[in-house]
Amino acid sequence: AVELFREMLANSLSPGAMTFVHLFSAELMARQGRQALALLEHMKKAEVPANAKLYNIILTHLCKHGKEKEALDLLHSMATTSCAPDIYTYNILINALCKAGMMDKAMDLFVEMPTRGCIPDVVTYNSIVDGFCKAGKVEEANKLFAEMMRISKEGLVDAISYVALISTICKLGKGKLGFQLLREMLEKGFKPNLVTFNVVFEGLSKESNTDDAKITIQEL
């Protein structure tokens, strides 16, 4: 792809953004991450503008292969260009960092987002809530969930948000709280899956809370 890019420039051809999207996609499908990064550098030197979509393709590849540090470096390098990250850029990175247990880094990006003109959406919040839950940090997850509810932005809280929090809370032995969130979830019109009901039922049973456990069964 690098050679093709050079040939296009040598022949006074100006490749458009979609051309690069295809070139990057081809390189990364062939697992040529270094070639894709080299192509990006050639673009910069030739003063060919890149867009967020191109960066997002590379970031997705890096994160998929566990290269979160390189992905963060690439995000920071965008600050030296005229290309600004978009909501997808941040969501790709935050999701990867949360899955890798790098919650401090994920929260740094979460705080940074509004300063770069990107408002966190339901995908952003769900990634972080799930990350805190899997890290056993229920208090942090609960605070973020409460913030989602406080903002009350349409579509900001969804079934995934509830399920992630309910599952972790019950697994940590707080079945009563999980049951309360389940009822709240139902009242808001969300439909829990069978696994969520089972998790709450088991949590209540371990607390010998048979009355609420029976109600949970009736809700099935």
Q: What is the per-residue pLDDT across 187-201, written as a single tens digit (0 to 9) for each?
A: 888 888 888 888 888
Per residue in 50-98, pLDDT (tens digit) is 778 888 888 888 898 898 999 999 899 888 887 899 999 999 999 999 9
pLDDT at residue 145 is higher than 70? yes
For residue 36, give both structure tokens. Answer: 């894709």
Domain spans, the chain: 1-84, 121-220
pTM for the structure as a whole = 0.72
Burial class (CB in 10 A: 0-12, 13-18, 19+), 153: middle
Residue pair 80/45 in contact by the 8 Å Cβ criterion: no
Q: How far is CA 168 from CA 96, 194, 196, in A?
A: 20, 16, 10
Burial string for 104-136 (b: 16+ CB within 10 Å, else e) reads ebbbebbeebeebebebbbbbbbbbbbbbbbee
Task: Determine whether domain 121-220 maps to CATH 1.25.40.10.
Answer: yes
Report residue 5's pLDDT band, with 50, 70 and 90 as the boundaries.
very low
Residue 118: which pLDDT band, with cuts at 50, 70 and 90? very high
Contacts of 60 (CB under 8 A, 6+ apart): 92
Q: How far apart are the C-alpha atoms of 179 and 189, rounded to whole Å?
A: 16
Which of 49, 75, 45 shows the shortest CA–CA distance to 62?
75
- C-beta separation of 5 from 40 below 8 A: no
pLDDT-based confidence at residue 9 (cuts at 50, 70, 90):
very low
The proportion of the chain whose per-residue pLDDT surpasses 90, expressed as a percent, equals 24
